[in-house]
Amino acid sequence: MSVPIPEKNVDLHGSAPDKHEIALLLIDVINDFDFPGADQLLRSARPMARNLVRLKRRAYKAGVPVIYVNDNFGRWKSDFRRTLDHCTRYGHGRDVVTLLRPEENDYFVLKPKHSGFFSSALDTLLRYLRTQTLILTGIAGNFCVLFTANDAYMRDFNLFVPSDCTVSNTKRENDSALRLMRKFLKADTRPATRIVLGSPAGGDSQRHRMKNARSKSRL
């Protein structure tokens, strides 16, 4: 008796219906800012959050999936919703978290370490979304954004790390991290306003536009 082979699951059981060559990642923006040096970081995070909100709106219009990739802050019995609730109610950066809180259709991935890819579902999600280009944003540029960018580069993703949508404890540290990502990870660090997102029906023409845009930025 032959056993029928099940059809390949193409959408993670309905959990990832979107398909787009680009994905916008918000790294550790749901944050309680309760650590040494957080006050200094928060001063930079506030203007960054306003830039990121505008980028998110453009992503929605273009049909680009928005993925929150967030630390669990050592709370292994928690989940993303509880993390969001804690940061909104008790965090020092409540205004930033409120501004950047996810919408109903956004995705979220909890990570246990610096890189969004390490021991998380991010790689699987991106594969089902058929994503080839990542826009990495968030906190902190010289740690979690950098580590995530490194792992993304090793997985052959094209990378954008907009300079106005990521922050570190100091501008010097952030600029240094951006230089590293430009030089070694081939990341495009143009400001978010100069990133061309295209339309929901991106297809091959969208890939062509993104590659051309990256080439022009290096001239």
If you ran DSSP here, which 8-state letter would residue 120 be given? Answer: S
In this prediction the pTM is: 0.82
Residue 200's nearest CA partner among 21, 14, 12 is 21
Tens of pLDDT, residue by residue over 86-144, are 777 766 778 888 899 999 899 999 998 999 999 999 999 999 999 999 999 999 999 99
pLDDT digits (tens, 9 = 90+) for 156-193: 999 999 999 999 999 999 999 999 999 999 999 999 99
- Residue 24, beta-bridge partner list: 66, 135
CA torsion 44→114→142→104, rounded to 10°? -40
pLDDT in tens, 200-213: 644 444 444 444 44
Distance CA 163, CA 184 (A): 16
Cβ 88 vs Cβ 97: under 8 Å: yes
For the chain, what's the residue count? 219
What's the CA gap between 25 and 161, in Å, rounded?
10
Instruction: Give per-residue burial for 100-118: e unless 16+ CB within 10 Å, then b.
Output: bebeeebbbbbbeebbbbe
pLDDT-derived band of residue 57, with 50, 70 and 90 as boundaries?
Answer: very high
> Residue 107 has what pLDDT?
94
pLDDT at res. 36: 75
Q: What is the pLDDT of residue 200?
A: 60
Distance, in Å, from the CA atom of 135 to the CA atom of 22, rounded to the nearest integer, reads 7
Q: Answer whether residue 70 shows pLDDT above 70.
A: yes
Q: In terms of Cα–Cα distance, which of 116, 49, 57 is closest to 87?
A: 49
What confidence score (pLDDT) does residue 208 get?
46
Q: For residue 44, which of 115, 83, 96 has the smallest C-alpha distance?
A: 96
At 14-39, the pLDDT tens digits run 555 578 999 999 999 988 887 777 78
66 vs 207: which has the higher pLDDT: 66
